[in-house]
Structure formats: C-alpha cells, structure tokens
C-alpha cells in the first residue's frame, strides 16, 4: 500500500465520516437555535460553566474545554454577556486573567435548552448506533483524541 494514497475503502470511509460530521453538527446547531436561540458553541460554553466549581472558569480553561480559539470564545462570551447569561470578572490572583461566570439567567437558559438538545443528540446519533458500535466508536475516537491532544506523531510505517 502506498502511504500517500488512500485505498478505495479508506477514501469512502473518510468522505462518509466528513459528510456525517458536518451534517450532524449543522443539524444539532440548527435545531438548538430554533428551539432555544442558543447555538451549539454557546450551549457548550454554558454547559462547561454549569459543571465548573461555582459555575466559573478562567477564559483560557474554558477555551480548551469547548475547543474554540480564544478570539472566537471572546466573541461568544461578548454575546452571552449581552443577554446576561454570563458575566466576566477579573481574576484576583492574575490581573491579565478573566473569569467567565454563568449567571442564574444563563443557567435557566441552559436548563430550558437541555432536554430538546439531548433528544436531538439521541435521535441523530445514539439511536442510529448499536451497543457494539458505540463501544467501537468510543474507543476509536478516544485514540484519535488522545493522539491529537498529545500532539503525537503518527506511527512510522
């Protein structure tokens, strides 16, 4: 096998993965926005803050959790601040750092959005996957996530 070419099966699987991923994210985002006026990134931000101690995270940590750039996070936090879902506060121990803090209004919006979003995730993802497939998908995605998260080099062939 040529390391620079994908086999027919590999190419088909790769293209199907890309198509399904884009369509799934777009569908979940669209349905979430229609139902709750939150986009998927906003939902992930609010969800991460809700799960944090005192419903607060440093902006740098929040960016890592929701997998967005610092500039995109700043833009989204600006919007969430405007609608009073989040407030910003300076870090007492580091004047350059900022906390993002989930407000009661933001927590309520998250609670309102969650049942429909969970239903959508189940409908468009989990209901289409058998138990053995779920294990396989979880294992494969964990390996990819770990390798990319550690910035490891691919194995030599």
pTM of the model: 0.86
Tell me what pLDDT residue 15 has.
97
pLDDT in tens, 142-153: 999 899 887 655
What per-residue string of b and e applies to 114-142 under the rule 16 or more CB within 10 Å gives b? Answer: eeebeebeeebeeeeeeeeeeeeeeeeee
Domain boundaries, the chain: 36-149
pLDDT in tens, 95-140: 678 999 999 999 999 999 999 999 999 999 999 999 999 999 999 9
Check: CB of residue 107 under 8 Å from CB of residue 116.
Answer: no
Please provide residue 152's backbone torsions phi and psi, each rounded to the nearest 5 degrees: -75, 155
Query: Residue 1 pLDDT > 70, yes or no?
Result: no
Please provide residue 101's backbone torsions phi and psi, each rounded to the nearest 5 degrees: -125, 125
CATH-assigned architecture of domain 36-149: Orthogonal Bundle (1.10)
């Amino acid at each position: 096998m040529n390391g620079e070419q994908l086999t027919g099966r590999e190419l088909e699987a790769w293209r199907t993965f890309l198509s399904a991923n884009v369509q799934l994210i777009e569908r979940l985002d669209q349905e979430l926005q229609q139902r709750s006026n939150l986009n998927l990134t906003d939902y992930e931000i609010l969800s991460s803050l809700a799960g944090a101690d005192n419903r607060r995270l440093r902006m740098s940590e929040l960016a890592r959790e929701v997998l967005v750039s610092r500039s995109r996070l700043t833009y989204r936090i600006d919007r969430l601040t405007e609608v009073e879902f989040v407030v910003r506060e300076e870090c007492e121990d580091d004047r350059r750092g900022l906390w993002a803090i989930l407000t009661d209004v933001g927590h309520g919006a998250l609670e309102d959005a969650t049942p429909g979003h969970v239903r959508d995730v189940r409908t468009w993802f989990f209901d289409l996957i058998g138990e053995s497939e779920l294990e396989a998908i979880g294992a494969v995605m964990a390996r990819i996530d770990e390798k990319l998260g550690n910035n490891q080099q691919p194995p030599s062939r």
